[in-house]
Amino acid sequence: MKRAVIAACASALACAAVPSLAAQGGTHVGGRSEVFAGGELEGYLRSLQTLGQAGSYPWALRGFSPQELDRILPRGSAHPWAARYDLRPDTVRALHLDLVRPVVALRFNSTFPYGGNDGAVWAGRGLTTSLQGGVAIRWGPLSATLAPVLFRAENVSLPLLDGGAQGDLRYNNGQFPAIVDQPQRFGPDAYARLDPGQSTVRLDAFGTAIGISTANQVWGPADRFPMVLGTNAPGIPHLFLGTAAPLNAWIARVHARVIWGVLDQSPYSPVSGSRYFRSLDQPGTRRFATGIIAVVQPRGMPGLELGGSRFFHSPWREGGPTAEDLKKPFEAIFKRDVQGDAGVTGDPFQDFDNQVGSLFARAHFPGSGFELYGEFYREDHSWDLRDFLNEPDHAAGYVVGARKAFRRGQSLVSLRGEVSNLEAQPVGLWRVEGVAYTHAYLRQGHTNRGQLLGADLGVGSSGASSFGVDWYSPRGRRSLTWTRTLRQTNHLRDPQGLLVRWSEGNPRAFDVMHALSAETLLFRGALDLVAGGGIVHNFNRNFQNDATNLTASLSVRRDF
């Protein structure tokens, strides 16, 4: 087994280093039914949009429906992958049945878990294997996709940060084991799961979209580090209602969506017992999720997107969500009354809901190949407008990013960079400040089944930067990426995780990873081959010694 893993990793690294071995690909082996949020084809279309070769459409609310893709997909064939994928708008409106081509993926980590923005899959130490595929159907305004994923992580043993927890809880986050569900390791054995994946049933009619889905969503313009919702965790099983496409309100076009869903936890969560909310001491293992996002495109400025989002975790009641729960996305932004369901008032830690939200903007300049975007994130609401204006950075963070794409003959080159920051602010020295992506009452934090719903960062005081280049050609893609991640910071905190003061005189107080990776997508007949490898050096891992991880990946997608 070990020899097979080493051989697979060596092959992957060799393919990444020698992309010139690829042969010219075939013609139209897939495409439209595989444009998932955060996926390969979505990133390709985003670069085309900045060049004016894809439709000007808001990117802050995705994945896209088949009807939305008809507005985005390039009208011509003057792009690198025109001969490979069927990326033409559908003008026939007849019954379509497409294959979501099956893909088998292998990922190997030599020293510690590494990998993110891969949906339900969790890549632990050792070999992680996944299989995904399915079908997609479209008939007029009705569309459906079934694309489940099955994965197995070898989950080899590794040193853990000891947070003083006992039993299964010792596998949870070592710094905040009592206020977040984010395992360092998913138990002592191999970890496997079958997930519904990128599956959706929806109806788009009369300007309205309604449906049910387990697919990942990305809220906001961020590419690598979306603050509120991204592709780092399993998709939320949810019902949604919104606009089928941006509505023309004359002064602007408005695109919006409301969701209602259910969040689950891992077996290593700090919450145990009943799945239902019982009392202050028994919040329940299941949570109700609801949120709203709105994107505005001002009239006469089709390349500008402005918007905001808010997302709530609430206790799951034994009788199911109430009318008040369903209306939560529309409640007042500022509220002094924090009365909880148990009737406790005056203490912010008795406000049982966990709210996160953001304001964002994106500007792309069609034809220039350039886009610029940013997002301001808040871990919870301010007490009132005065509080917000005085201390907007309280429990706050941000992400900023840019992309520049340009053509070189038949190829397309895309330069990208993104910086995120969720580090604890100095205001926390003078005022109670929570920990990013955690919560004092709903102690699973901003997670679903043990993985963060937002950016692929640590919890607490964290941040990251990522810079890379993608080179698209008729033969495939080559990418090189450098990422720095501040996983965790050893600040002094009280038992509830609130910042007390900065740690002093500790040379290993910052747990930081630097990763350099290369990846190649090769078109070979009916196969899409993706091979990659990299090195990750973790300074002060778990506030102790340095560690180096070698990572490699290989995936094969086949057309029939």
Most confident of 422-426, 499-503, 522-526: 522-526
Burial class of residue 99 (count of CB atoms within 10 Å of its CB; 0-12, 13-18, 19+): middle
How far apart, in whole angstroms, are the C-alpha atoms of residue 328 and residue 310? 10
pLDDT of residue 232: 96
The percentage of the chain sitting over the pLDDT mark of 90, rounded to a whole number, equals 66
- Residue 26 pLDDT greater than 60, yes or no: no
Choice between 400 and 381, residue whose per-residue pLDDT is larger:
400
- Residue 10 pLDDT greater than 90, yes or no: no
How far apart, in whole angstroms, are the C-alpha atoms of residue 311 and residue 59? 19
Query: pLDDT tens digits for 39-62?
Result: 999 999 999 999 999 999 999 999
If pLDDT is split at 50, 70 and 90, which confidence band does 73 have?
Answer: very high
Burial class of residue 165 (count of CB atoms within 10 Å of its CB; 0-12, 13-18, 19+): middle
What CATH class does 2-558 carry? mainly beta
pLDDT of residue 503: 54
Query: pLDDT tens digits for 75-104?
Result: 888 899 999 998 988 877 789 899 999 999
Both tokens assigned to 196: 């519904």
- Asked if 472 and 412 touch (Cβ cutoff 8 Å), the reply is yes
**Structural domain boundaries in the chain:** 2-558
3-state secondary structure of 89: coil
How far apart, in whole angstroms, are the C-alpha atoms of residue 345 and residue 338? 6
Q: What is the pTM of this model?
A: 0.89
Strand spans (E) along 55-199: 61-62, 96-109, 126-139, 142-146, 149-153, 191-195
Asked if the bond preceding 533 is cis, omega within 30° of 0, the reply is no
- Residue 31 pLDDT greater than 90, yes or no: no
Nearest to 364 by CA among 405, 307, 398: 405
Tokens 């970890």 appear where?
A: 191
Mean pLDDT of the chain: 87
Query: pLDDT tens digits for 296-347?
Result: 999 988 899 999 999 999 999 888 898 988 999 998 876 654 444 443 334 4
- Residue 139 pLDDT greater than 50, yes or no: yes
Cβ contacts of residue 299 below 8 Å, gap of 6+? 250, 251, 252, 253
Both tokens assigned to 461: 């005081």
- Residue 288 pLDDT greater than 90, yes or no: yes
- Residue 507 pLDDT greater than 60, yes or no: yes
What are the residues facing 61 on neighbouring strands? Answer: 219
What are the residues facing 324 on neighbouring strands? Answer: none
**DSSP secondary structure letter of residue 112:** S
Residues making up the chain, counted from first to last: 560
